[in-house]
Amino acid sequence: MDQFIQFLMQGEAPWWSALVGTVVGGLITYLTTKHTAREQRLADRIKADDDRLLADKEKWRTETIAHVSDMLVANYRLRNHILVSRRGILKNYPEAPAVAPEELKAFQTDLMDITETTLPILADLQRQWAILQITSDGDLAEAAGNLFLTLSDHYPELSKAEFELTRDKASKAAALLMNVAKRELGFPFGSNTGVVAQFS
């Protein structure tokens, strides 16, 4: 046994030291590679999660912009409908909302006809508001609700002062919703060079 150990130890650079160096070097390489691979898998998983989160956020943003746009379009459609309806009412009943007793039944029938056209537009507005409340919450949902509630108070048979007041409130509520949506959903890709102002 002693002779065998001496055989292994003989020479200036024993051959087994190269073997030990190779084994140790291989072990270090294996551990380093395994650690690097684990770190890479973790980085890939984080990147995949980030990409999925970014895609989900972009999908939500695109869908929310569409809901806000639909609500604003319905807002303009309703306000135009109310304005046209008001002109018709004032043509037939110049003193509206005060009408003569003999005209009251016809006046109420005309208002019912207007309401039948108004309700589907209001229902569409309420649907968009409900979607924004469920998916967005915060300022965006509050601005959408403010617009819907303001439009619910805008009737064609109001007095001139009340009609102008509710129309102004609806206009401001629509502008508020657009500004909140721009702040929360928009990207600053536009230009403020003033070129458009030169041609207006």
Q: For 55-107, what is each residue's pLDDT tens digit? A: 888 888 899 999 999 999 999 999 999 999 999 999 999 888 888 889 989 98
Residue 45 pLDDT class (50, 70, 90 cuts): confident
Question: Among all chains, which residue has been given the structure tokens 């109310």?
Answer: 82
Longest dimension (CA), the chain: 133
Angle at which helices 15-92 and 104-135 pack, to 10 degrees? 170
> And the tokens for 33?
């590679």
Whole-number pLDDT of residue 24: 60
Whole-number pLDDT of residue 200: 46
Question: What is the rounded distance in angstroms from the CA atom of residue 200 to the CA atom of residue 198?
Answer: 6
Q: Nearest 5 degrees, angle CA 152-CA 61-CA 118?
A: 20
pLDDT above 60: residue 37:
yes
- Determine contact, residues 107/96, Cβ cutoff 8 Å: yes
pLDDT above 80: residue 39:
no
